[in-house]
Chains A and B, each alone.
Chain A
Amino acid sequence: MSGVLDSAIVLGIIRFLAGRHAWMVLFLVAAVIPMVLLGNSYLMSSFAIIAIFSIVVLSLDLVMGYGGLPNFGVNGFFALGAYVMGVLAAKLGIPLALGAGIAVLLNLGVAFLIGVATLRMKHYYFAVASLGLGVIVVQVIGGLPDQTGGWSGLTGIPKVSALGYTLSSDLAFYVVSCAALFISLAAGRNLVGSRFGRAIQAISTDELATEAVGIFVAEHKVKLFMVTSVFGSLAGSLYVLFLRVPTPANFDVPVLVEMTLMLFLGGQRTLWGAIIGSGVMRLLPEVMGGFHDFTTALQGLTLILILLFLPKGLAGKAEEVWKDRLRPRVVVDRYASAQARNGHDASQRFDGRTPGEGPLLEATGLSKRFGGVQAVSELTFSVPRRKIKAIIGPNGAGKTTAFNLLTKVITPDDGYACFNGISLKAYKPHEVSRMGIVRTFQTPRLFSTMSALENVKVGLHTHLKAGIINALVPLAATRREEHDAEERAYALLELTGIAPRAATIADKLPFGERRLLEIARGLAVQPSLILLDEPAAGLNETEKDRLSELLLRLRDAGLTLLLVEHDMRVVMNIADEVLVMNYGQKIADGTPAEIQRNDAVLKAYLGEDTVYAAN
């Protein structure tokens, strides 16, 4: 088997496929095949629809697959794109291109409003509300027969003609639709690989961790909605030209269900799966011929079987084989070679943004109650610049709550913290991060579907500039920025000692390296202060030594560190100061040696002497 895979021809093919532009060649070849086989037959209309549906499914992949938002409202954007242009042209004689543009603007507005309105809704609530959006659009269209033709359909949409040529044959439509799909696919690929694309993928795996690197989650969700609405709108406008007499049923819930099925059959998080899914779903009835009545049942069964047995879909499965078994045969480590060329300096300093002396962080009277429990009570302490301070204390002493209060993940009932002399009272979590405070979590919260390098690049987010337009159409400046980001990220992986894992998916890293990756990602934010929540938990002795050494090195590079840690050997070895908490209160604060001699500390850890005799 491997003999065949390593033959010169196969390796040549793999090498070609691993190239940057191979997808374009593949797309063109795949697009030409039906034209050659079928010519201008009636079946070409099915292929035109496949191309148009692929665009919508692709947008569904962006929002559901990459964005992780169960947004079932895409048929609403699709319908608006179709009907706004259709009605404007049929009833008011507005040129089609202008109508399509107006539809896009309207969709952007709707997407913005719906995005903002649904921000606070979680999972199911969001899913049902977004489903509702599609239903409302379709129902309103059906309920306005004077303007839209109602349920019997809209007539009077003119044919497209340009340069004396009228677009009417199925073949011509197919070609136009394919061109549109090609552009959509290119835009989608650019988006996914961009700064924005990384942010939405990060959000879909872990919102809290995303905020912790300074990304404003709400803004990105709304923008993602708006991007998908443009795809949906343009596909709708194209579809209506093809349909000529659209009815609301062309855009109703069953169509949405079909598109969702297309996405999962094809494979989410692949983009090209949209084409595979649409193709299979639309050609299946043609192949089934006389068994039309079975189509619905078969669709349902297919979706269930896919979810149970092939959750990644057809394209997803293919990509897995590709990434795990085929591509590794030809790919060299391009990160390492890029590094060798440019040699980014890994020995950066971390105190450039907060020069000066005195404490970097000062907490005053922080208090928080949960129900009947006083989790943190009147906590006052300071963290000196360029030092390592550790917080220790028994279970439930309030240490992690203290972290959450400092990073504003939860709001204190009372008290406040000052960072570099500025009160954090009015700041949101992502703003705290942007000021230069980052944190890690008790269990590492990585972006599990992304590579180690991409995880660090998400950390660089706030230091990059590319916006959505740059993402969709990256020009030279954006590409340079990306290149630079890649090198900076790689340098941080080197600093933390996990550079050889740059291309490994975070989920597949061993536990100890996950902790290091989380630290590297935090450093990408270029903090002055890093909060580490039990960094040594789950590490073996060698890994603990590596970690201690890294933390000391970071301190010497000007970083201030505050850690919650249970491993006393680590704490006593590296901490400059130790704060001890119990029952939410500070019971001691001093050097490690002082703490070890403190009676109150011993009592907190070992319990009071008691009267119970073992009998």
Chain B
Amino acid sequence: MLQIDRLEVAYGALTVLRDISLTVNNGEIVTVIGANGAGKSTLLKSISGLLPPSGGTIQFDGKEIARTPPHQIVKLGVSQVPEGRQLFAELSVLDNLELGAFSRGGNAAENAKELAHVYDLFPILRERSVQMAGTLSGGEQQMLAIGRALMARPKLLLLDEPSLGLAPMVVRSIFEIIMQLKASDLAILLVEQNARAALSMADRAYVLETGRVVSQGLGKDLLADPQVQRSYLGESIAH
């Protein structure tokens, strides 16, 4: 479904990603883990079109999207839940969700169906529907961000650090929802710092270190791999 080949991304003089190749298949959860500054968020931004790559290719459903603007990539079926949620804080919860469906045009019946689906997934959002998004708690905001992305009916969902800044209890429920989404046959590319949780959820995983893929494999294999710990805490780890 998603095929990335030898991707290279730079911010001005600073090259952040080098020679990244990665695939996501239908209905799979793939996770990208790695320490801070490894380039995980950059990777998602270049897939969603916010940060056009300086080299390599990104194909979605066989179509090259490396130079496609973000609003068209959404139409193709890739939705990103950005790091830090990035909600429209001064719009209501309902407005945020409706704007999530913007790319699909104005079919009211379709949108209502999708909205009902999101509300079923996140009942708390229904209660909060007239509240301004900025007044929600961190966990609720994360749910709204996921709900907003789902409103576009994506085939592939990009999740950028959904656990960031959330209390452990809330993280747990967010992860449970991600597992539910997977059950509904949505492909998910998950970027996470909480490596153990991410690996235990994922079918396959890639480990990023300073802009390069240093290892990849099945989630459960990497979970036991000392290399993963090393890439977080340095070479000389005593264990």
Contacts and interface: CB of A to CB of B under 8 A. Distances in A.
| A and B touch in their complex, CB below 8 angstroms | yes
Interface stretch (B90-98, B122-130, B200-208): B200-208
Contact of A566 (B29, B36, B196, B218): B36
Most A Cβ at <10 Å: residue of B29, B176, B198, B232: B232
A511 B138 contact: no
Interface in B174-202: 175-176, 179, 192-198, 200-202
Contact of A608 (B168, B192, B193, B219): B168
Given A396-B164, A606-B232, A511 B14 contact: yes
A119 B96 CA distance: 38
Interface string A593-611: 1001100011001111111
B234 A569 contact: yes
Contacts of A597: 238
Contacts of B228: 606
Given A372-B137, A372-B138, A537-B37, A596 B233 contact: yes
Contacts of B198: 607
A568 B237 CA distance: 10
Most A Cβ at <10 Å: residue of B175, B196, B218, B237: B196
Contact of A607 (B35, B161, B197): B197
B108 interface: no
B138 A566 contact: no
A608 B233 contact: no
A534 interface: yes
A153 interface: no
A398 B210 CA distance: 21
Interface string A571-615: 110000000000000000000010011000110011111111110
A571 B137 CA distance: 36
Interface in A517-536: 534
B21 interface: no
A173 to B, nearest CB: 51
Contacts of A566: 35-37
Interface string A532-566: 00100110000000000000000000000000001
A612 B164 contact: no
A92 interface: no
Interface in B1-29: 13-14, 16, 29
B103 interface: no
Nearest to B164: A396
A614 B193 contact: no
Contacts of A571: 234
A311 B202 CA distance: 51
Interface residues of A, number: 32
A613 B234 contact: no
B65 to A, nearest CB: 27
A394 interface: yes
A610 B234 contact: no
Contacts of B232: 568, 605-606
B196 A596 contact: no
B24 to A, nearest CB: 15
Contact of B200 (A510, A538, A596, A612): A612
A373 B194 contact: no
A511 B176 CA distance: 42
Contact of A610 (B16, B36, B175, B218): B175
A607 B36 contact: no
A74 B203 CA distance: 66
B195 A606 contact: yes
B169 to A, nearest CB: 12
B197 A608 contact: yes
B229 interface: yes
Contacts of B172: 610
Interface of A: 372-373, 394-396, 510-511, 514, 534, 537-538, 566-569, 571-572, 593, 596-597, 601-602, 605-614
27 contacts: A373-B165, A394-B193, A395-B36, A395-B193, A396-B164, A510-B13, A534-B37, A538-B16, A568-B234, A572-B235, A596-B236, A596-B237, A596-B238, A597-B238, A605-B195, A606-B196, A606-B228, A607-B192, A607-B194, A608-B196, A610-B175, A612-B176, A612-B197, A612-B201, A614-B201, A614-B203, A614-B218
Given A601-B233, A602-B233, A612-B176, 17 more contacts: A395-B36, A396-B165, A511-B13, A514-B13, A602-B229, A605-B195, A605-B232, A606-B195, A606-B196, A606-B228, A606-B232, A607-B195, A609-B196, A612-B175, A612-B197, A612-B201, A614-B29
List the 4 closest A-B pairs by CB distance, nearest first.
A568-B234, A607-B194, A607-B196, A610-B197
